[in-house]
Amino acid sequence: MDANRLTAEGHARRRFLLGTASLGVVAHTPSLFAAEDAPLVASAHVERGALAPVRLQVNGRDYMLSLEPRVTLLDALREYIGLTGTKKGCDRGQCGACTVLVNDRRINACLALAIAHQGDRIRTVEGLAPHGALHAVQAAFVERDGFQCGYCTPGQICSAVAMLQEARSDTISAATQDVRQRGPIALTDAEIRERMSGNLCRCGAYVGIVAAVRDAATRST
Amino acid sequence: MTQTATSHVIGQPLDRTDGPLKTTGGARYAAEFRPAGLCHAVMVLSTIPAGRIVALDTAAPEASPGVLLVLSHRNAPSLPKHGDAAFDPPAGRVLSLLQDDDVHYNRQPIAVVVADSFEHAVAAAALVHAQYERASPALDFQRERAHAHTPKDVNHAPPDKRWGDVAAGERVAEVRVDAIYTTPMQTHNPLEPHATVADWQNGKLTVYDATQYVSGVRDALAKTLGMAADDVRVVSPFVGGGFGCKGSTWSHVVLAAMAARQVGRPVKLVVDRTQMFGPVGGRPHTRQRVALGARRDGTLTSIRHELVAQTSQIEDWTEPSAVVSRMMYACPNGATSHRLVKLNIGTPTFQRAPGEASGNFALEVAMDELAVSLHVDPVALRLRNYAEREPATGKSFSSKHLRECYAQAAERFGWSRRTGAPRSMRDGNTLVGYGMATASYPAHRMAASARAVLQPDGTFVVQSGSQDIGTGTYTVMTQVAAETLGVPPAHVHFELGDTRLPPAPVSGGSMSAASVGPAVQAACRQLRERLVSLAVADATSPVHGSPSSAVTIDDGWMIVRDNPSRRETLAAFAARHRQPLEASAEAKPGDAKERYALHSFGAVFAEVRVDPELGVIRVPRVVAAYDIGRPLNLKTARSQMQGGIVWGVGFALLEETLLELRSGRIANANLAEYHVPVNADIQSIDVLFVDHPDYAFNPLGIRGIGEIGITGVPAALANAIHHATGRRLRDLPITLDKLL
Amino acid sequence: MRAFDYVRAERIDDALTALAEGNTRCLAGGTNLLDLMKGDVEQPARLVDITHLPLAGIEPLPDGGLRIGALVPNSDLANDRRIRERYPLLAQALVSGASPQLRNMATVGGNLLQRTRCHYFVDVGFDACNKRKPGSGCTALEGPNRIHAILGASNRCIAVHPSDMCVALAALDAVVETQSRGGARRIAMHDFHRLPGTTPQRDTELRHDELVTAVTLPPSPFAEHSRYLKVRDRASYAFALVSVAAALDLDGDRVRDARIVLGGVAHKPWRARDAEHALVGHALDDATLSAAGAAATHGARPYHDNAFKVTLAQRAVVRAIREGART
């Protein structure tokens, strides 16, 4: 058998060693990781139903998980690591509540497989301000009341953090009048609205969200 | 120290007290509770609208990896009264609890699969195959309208109400408007899907639920399962939006509890987004006739408002759209009625401003049509018919300042720049339209209770079994408590969302603040009085010996009013009192409802821009002024009104739940094709409050604000579109195709 | 989601080998595939993860065109300086699609293979869908069909292709490059997507064992005068009711060459050749514009909810040409 091939039978031993069923966080200590002798990157071949060792780097911390390939990045965060700040709103890429940063780019974690994101730098809302104080975008959301129920908020905030970086890199949006222009693109309210439109807010806090992003953009430049 | 530091906390635009938790991912929603041994349940829903299940293949899912249970009508436990023991809306509804093989609507729960992981449960659920014996469904509203019936009541109001002599009023009318208005099925779609975690320990049930009504869920579960209410605890500290759909206990809540009991482990059941379109309610389609009669000077002589709406086969739930015409304008003669058409659909339910949102659209567009016929300004027409008393009852209003709303909003909006004729305003090639409408929503209040506890460090824990569904309950109740106690808001920790706390009503019908606020105020006032009387009797206190009436609490200090040097902090006081000091209170509505007509009002002005060739509609600005009593927090109140207006934009221009008429299945059961407004759909929304406390309604002078924001907006937009284009569109949503 | 074998391809050959074994889908951005797998619409036995293949570059071609690797994310493509300056039509189309998050994930290859948003295709609770279950019927013929096709449909399927990018690529005469173990192929964009006919289950000409490796763009004479116009219900984050890619090569006010391609109206990006003919050789006056608009929907056949698309498409064509000429 291919050493890199994981089968449904073969995973039983791993499961036992890792000391948990598929429900919990498996472990994240380097020693256990080494003892498990798992490869640093994805197994080249995992048979259906088998668990594969999956190492995710989230908010600067390594998590060694044992997952089926079909586990999404969103479910890996929420169900297997226990980082529930990232929300599941539609699970189909239609609401943006699951927005996280992967290598500083915003993506929908519901449409990503965890196993395909090994080696990536993943940042969630919990990792924006690790030392207690709020990130500038978080503070602006509080001050401008850019949320009500709070469920879309982690996604909005992650999206805004990435969006401000995108705008600094002079990326275009559908609100950009002339895509051929060179140089900075002014972050008008119309640009902010368009660039934040991948995050639905059913409470309708859009006025506050735009104000918060505008504030954060001004403060961080 | 300032003497008045904490005497005006209520009303201040305080940041949400739960803001840091919500912005850092620390707020915990129902699906995020994880009792030890948690397993995952997924519902299987029907794919036909009517008939019987004749065969259910559960062998494959049962053999699927990780599966612990496939619960269906074949093995589900029998429940008291066939599962209907809790019926009492809003909390208790007619549910689908696998008690028989009948199918009454498409996407009805027919099985629940429980497995050790979410992935295993989902995969196994896909293997559950039902064979049906199909019955002929009723799905075509137009066709079934012939069989409409009169419901028993509409939200505790009579279905039919007449006053004066409407036929006589029509005979003397010099101008008439008589038209049919329709609103589509809509779906709440809070961003957080319904979710329930059920955990049984020694015969007692704890449920973490996404709900607007913890005690309602407790009672519904207890009755449905045949248990004592004390053996059920419901916990819901954070709710990701509700808008009405989480005001009822739907099937999945009970099914999660049934499944957990059966597998002997805690179970989490999340309703996935597509499953939100059927078994958890929605706003029904309405067809409304509004007929207005008026004299040449605009005085209304008659008003008819007749609603026909859809409901399900299993329960009568009425969208009370015509009720708004019973209170809005001073018209001596009126006739209003509600009829229901039974279809094979999931039971509709309360959705943000049930009745008012849809009924106001019909009435306020009809008023605009009347204004056009009379060549009078739409605001002037409304002032001409301004109601000083509720027309259908003759009661005076507890507090009504709608004239100020019209004036302030019109001024801020620049209504005077409007030129009257349709298609008379342009910006380049773009058609510009200004439209307005009145907003209204009744003020409701129910009994509520609260407890306030002094902590050893001199801060307070204040509790009520209410909910914060994004409405700011945590924050505004902190403010009510802080001001009443005389301490900074930071010294109050407010707790809610747990049936172990003093009971409070549903967070629905815009009643939470007006119900819970007085209870919090009463409990805090009692505790404050108790603290003062203990301190003046306490020889070690600097305030010792003063009469209680001479001692106040301000900014966390207990102070002798006439001699402020005699004072101590509550922290110092609390440190000497080892026992927790607490007070509880219940606040009841009193007789305001019998004496007065209780309503909030507003005036909504909207500008639309219409692309004359492509029909694309944009809403650059909405200005609205509201008479909602006293706002408890200007920041959260403004947000809530803005959010309601965003809903109004969705209602007018975007939202429609599409029913496929052969299958009875909702065709756009997702957030890609069910269009809630996105950020780019919303531009400027300017909200004003005319600040007139309504002390006749409750001691805080507040009226609820959850729903009024959506009302008026659909009509204001439809009226603005008419002004822009000359097209009178009476069927919502007004999508661009209707303007081509 | 059903369980599947997961294979990580380190080399293109790994992917081709896996594809050749059948019932295999390539996982790139995942935005469409995982969505459909969650809905049980797609049930592949195996996913081959191609995200590590060296197909994420944009290279200049000797003829002055560009070769775009199949794994280039939509957002990167939209923001590539060469695309923005030389193919602004494509940049506009890309940023009008989906959301920023999805554009960061979705790839060029995946966008080409995007499947329809037809209500009855994406929901397996509807029995009848010839695209999903050949021979089962078409619910859209009678059900709500406001978003469905007006051009090129058949009585088996009236679904529309949902992509914005593909509409622009068709206007820019792009070519799709594929590989299989049998060799490489180049397929003109216009021929890549199919009309439903009697086999609506097949969206494209791609064979199951083939991998899209790149899209090439020839040098374009349209950079100065082009416009992607998307008309949709929401202001953003919504699929097109109608979209138009209008690309003009102008000689003064005369049209030397033109491409008019419609989105949201057919099972594939709909090249409106009659509209192009109405433009080429003519001055861009009102008569020419309205002739082009009318010609754009020749042969249209609307269904009960979507007759508006005929008018909308005509007017959108006029608007897109007008705005394209002005740029």
Reported as a single tens digit per residue, the pLDDT across A131-180 is: 879 999 999 999 999 999 999 999 999 999 999 999 999 999 999 999 99
DSSP track, B41-91: EEEEE-SSSSEEEEEEE-HHHHHSTTEEEEEETTTPPP-GGGGTTT-BTTT
Interchain contact, C231 vs B654, CB within 8 Å: no
Whether residue A183 is found in the same domain as residue A121? no
* Bridge partners, residue B199, by sequence: B206
For C125, nearest residue in chain B (alpha carbons): B47
Mutate one of A202, A209, A210, A215 to test the B interface: name it (highest B CB count within 10 A): A202
Examine the fold and report which residue of A13, A30, A46 is the final residue of a domain before the chain moves on. Answer: A46
- Residue C259 near residue C247, CB atoms below 8 Å: yes
pLDDT at B488 over 50: yes
pLDDT at A22 over 50: no
Digit-coded pLDDT (tens) for B188-231: 999 999 999 999 999 999 999 999 999 999 999 999 999 999 99
Distances in Å between the Cα of A45 and the Cα atoms of A34, A150, C16 are 21, 40, 15
Q: What angle is formed at CA B658 by the lines to CA B653 and CA B663, rounded to 5 degrees? A: 175
At B380, which amino acid appears? A
For C98, nearest residue in chain B (alpha carbons): B672
Q: What angle is formed at CA B720 by the lines to CA B717 and CA B725, rounded to 5 degrees? A: 125
Please give the Cα distance from B467 to B462 (Å, whole number): 14
Distances in Å between the Cα of B602 and the Cα atoms of B235, B290, C32 are 35, 21, 45
- Residue A169 near residue A187, CB atoms below 8 Å: no
Helix (H) or strand (E) holding B308: strand B300-312
DSSP track, A112-150: SBGGGGTT-EEE-GGGSSTTSSPPHHHHHHHHTT--SS-
The SS3 call for residue C209 is coil
Residues 261-290 of B with CB under 8 A from A: 270, 272-273
Please give the Cα distance from C118 to C162 (Å, whole number): 9
Contacts of C162 in chain A (CB under 8 A): none
Please give the Cα distance from A87 to A110 (Å, whole number): 9
Please give the Cα distance from C121 to C125 (Å, whole number): 9
Of B231-240, B571-580, C68-77, least confident by mean pLDDT is: B571-580
Digit-coded pLDDT (tens) for B689-717: 999 999 999 999 999 999 999 999 999 99
Question: Number of B:C CB contacts under 8 A?
Answer: 102
Pair of tokens at residue B314? 């299993």
User: What is the pLDDT, as a whole number, of residue B5?
Assistant: 59
pLDDT at B285 over 60: yes
Digit-coded pLDDT (tens) for B54-113: 999 999 999 999 999 999 999 999 999 999 999 999 999 999 999 999 999 999 999 999
pLDDT band of B577, cuts 50, 70, 90: confident
Whether residue A30 is found in the same domain as residue A54? no
User: What is the pLDDT, as a whole number, of residue B445?
Assistant: 97
Could you tell me the residue ranges of all domains in chain B?
A: 19-24+446-588, 30-136+189-276, 378-444+594-739
Can you give the residue range of the structural domain that contains A22? 3-46
For residue C196, tell me if it sits in a domain. Answer: no
Helix (H) or strand (E) holding B494: strand B492-495
Can you give the residue range of the structural domain that contains C3? 1-54
Please give the Cα distance from B668 to B676 (Å, whole number): 12
Of C233, C239, C311, the CB nearest to B654: C233
Residue whose entry in the numeric block shows the structure tokens 């003669």: B333
- What average pLDDT score do residues B402-414 get? 98
* Distance of alpha carbon A146 from the chain centroid: 20
Of B274, B670, B681, the CB nearest to C235: B681
Q: Yes or no: is domain B378-444+594-739 CATH 3.30.365.10?
A: yes
For residue A166, tell me if it sits in a domain. Answer: yes
Pair of tokens at residue C204? 């494209």
pLDDT band of A4, cuts 50, 70, 90: low
Whether residue A122 is found in the same domain as residue A133? no
pLDDT at B371 over 50: yes
Please give the Cα distance from B546 to B4 (Å, whole number): 21
- Give the residue from C222, C246, C241, C259 showing the smallest Cα distance to C320: C246
Pair of tokens at residue A135? 């990130």
Please give the Cα distance from B109 to B354 (Å, whole number): 25
Mutate one of B658, B674, B682, B727 to test the C interface: name it (highest C CB count within 10 A): B658
Pair of tokens at residue B648? 């109004």
Please give the Cα distance from C262 to C277 (Å, whole number): 15
Examine the fold and report which residue of C36, C54, C72 is the final residue of a domain before the chain moves on. Answer: C54
How many separate domains does chain A show? 3
Please give the Cα distance from C48 to B267 (Å, whole number): 34
User: What is the pLDDT, as a whole number, of residue A17?
Assistant: 34
Please give the Cα distance from C129 to A172 (Å, whole number): 38
For B658, nearest residue in chain C (alpha carbons): C144
Of the options 3.50.50.60, 3.30.365.10, 3.40.630.30, 3.40.50.10330, the CATH number for the domain spanning B30-136+189-276: 3.30.365.10
Digit-coded pLDDT (tens) for C103-112: 999 999 999 9
Whether residue A40 is found in the same domain as residue A80? no
pLDDT band of A30, cuts 50, 70, 90: very low
For residue C63, tell me if it sits in a domain. Answer: no
CATH of domain B19-24+446-588: 3.30.365.10
Find the distance separating the first CA and the last CA of chain A, reported in whole Å: 56
State the smallest CA–CA distance between residue A76 and chain C in angstroms: 15
Torsion (CA) C75, C77, C79, C80 in degrees, nearest 10: 150
User: What is the pLDDT, as a whole number, of residue B580?
Assistant: 80
Interchain contact, B191 vs A126, CB within 8 Å: no
Cis peptide bond upstream of B547, omega within 30: no
Of B39, B243, B680, the CB nearest to A194: B680
- Give the residue from B350, B469, B352, B355 showing the smallest Cα distance to B93: B350
For C151, half-sphere exposure in the C-beta direction (CA atoms, 13 angstrom radius) is 26
Contacts of B119 in chain C (CB under 8 A): 1, 3
Whether residue A157 is found in the same domain as residue A141? yes
Please give the Cα distance from C119 to C294 (Å, whole number): 29
* Per-residue model confidence as pLDDT tens for chain C (327 residues): 999 999 999 999 999 999 999 999 999 999 999 999 999 999 999 999 999 999 999 999 999 999 999 999 999 999 999 999 999 999 999 999 999 999 999 999 999 999 999 999 999 999 999 999 999 999 999 999 999 999 999 999 999 999 999 999 999 999 999 999 999 999 999 999 999 999 999 999 999 999 999 999 999 999 999 999 999 999 999 999 999 999 999 999 999 999 999 999 999 999 999 999 999 999 999 999 999 999 999 999 999 999 999 999 999 999 999 999 997
Digit-coded pLDDT (tens) for B456-476: 999 999 999 999 999 999 999
CATH number at residue A121: 3.10.20.30
Other Cβ atoms less than 10 A from the Cβ of B63: the count is 10
State the smallest CA–CA distance between residue A143 and chain C in angstroms: 25
Please give the Cα distance from A193 to B620 (Å, whole number): 13
- What average pLDDT score do residues B413-433 get? 97
For B14, nearest residue in chain A (alpha carbons): A143
Strands (E) in chain C, as ranges, are 5-8, 24-27, 46-49, 58-60, 66-69, 175-180, 183-188, 211-217, 225-231, 242-251, 254-263, 270-271
User: What is the pLDDT, as a whole number, of residue C104?
Assistant: 98
* Distance of alpha carbon B179 from the chain centroid: 29
Helix (H) or strand (E) holding B678: none
How many separate domains does chain C show? 2
User: What is the pLDDT, as a whole number, of residue A43?
Assistant: 59
pLDDT at A2 over 50: no
Digit-coded pLDDT (tens) for B598-647: 999 999 999 999 999 999 999 999 999 999 999 999 999 999 999 999 99
- What average pLDDT score do residues B366-381 get? 98
For B675, nearest residue in chain C (alpha carbons): C234
Number of residues assigned to chain B: 740
- What average pLDDT score do residues A88-97 get? 98
- Give the residue from A127, A82, A137, A84 showing the smallest Cα distance to A104: A127
Whether residue A146 is found in the same domain as residue A183? yes
Of B5-9, B438-442, C249-253, least confident by mean pLDDT is: B5-9
Digit-coded pLDDT (tens) for B126-185: 999 999 999 999 999 999 999 999 999 998 899 999 999 999 999 999 999 999 999 999
DSSP track, B247-277: GSB-HHHHHHHHHHHHHTS-EEEE--GGGGS
Q: Is B707 a catalytic residue?
A: yes
Other Cβ atoms less than 10 A from the Cβ of B493: the count is 16
Interchain contact, C236 vs A174, CB within 8 Å: yes
- Give the residue from B214, B259, B212 showing the smallest Cα distance to B235: B214
Contacts of B621 in chain A (CB under 8 A): none
For residue A168, tell me if it sits in a domain. Answer: yes
* Bridge partners, residue B666, by sequence: B659
Q: Which chains touch C (3 or more CB pairs under 8 A)?
A: A, B
Please give the Cα distance from C278 to B486 (Å, whole number): 79
Please give the Cα distance from A59 to A130 (Å, whole number): 8
Pair of tokens at residue B386? 């301004």
Digit-coded pLDDT (tens) for B578-606: 778 999 999 999 999 999 999 999 999 99
CATH number at residue A136: 1.10.150.120
pLDDT band of B321, cuts 50, 70, 90: very high
User: What is the pLDDT, as a whole number, of residue B490?
Assistant: 97
* Bridge partners, residue B434, by sequence: B607
Per the prediction, chain A carries an average pLDDT of 86
For residue A107, tell me if it sits in a domain. Answer: no
Interchain contact, A70 vs C78, CB within 8 Å: no
Say which DSSP state B149 is in: B
Distances in Å between the Cα of B152 and the Cα atoms of B88, B304, C48 are 14, 20, 60
Please give the Cα distance from A112 to C102 (Å, whole number): 11
Please give the Cα distance from B575 to B276 (Å, whole number): 51
Contacts of C39 in chain A (CB under 8 A): 92
For residue A97, tell me if it sits in a domain. Answer: no
Q: What angle is formed at CA A150 by the lines to CA A205 and CA B216, rounded to 5 degrees? A: 110
For residue C199, tell me if it sits in a domain. Answer: no
Please give the Cα distance from C21 to C2 (Å, whole number): 19
Percent of the residues in chain B that have a pLDDT greater than 90, as a whole number? 98
User: What is the pLDDT, as a whole number, of residue A8?
Assistant: 55
- Give the residue from B518, B514, B516, B547 showing the smallest Cα distance to B532: B547
CATH number at residue C19: 3.30.43.10
**Whole-model pTM?**
0.97
Residues 6+ apart with CB under 8 A from C14: C7, C8, C48
* Distance of alpha carbon B351 from the chain centroid: 6
Contacts of C38 in chain B (CB under 8 A): 122
Contacts of B675 in chain C (CB under 8 A): 233-234, 238
User: What is the pLDDT, as a whole number, of residue B258?
Assistant: 98
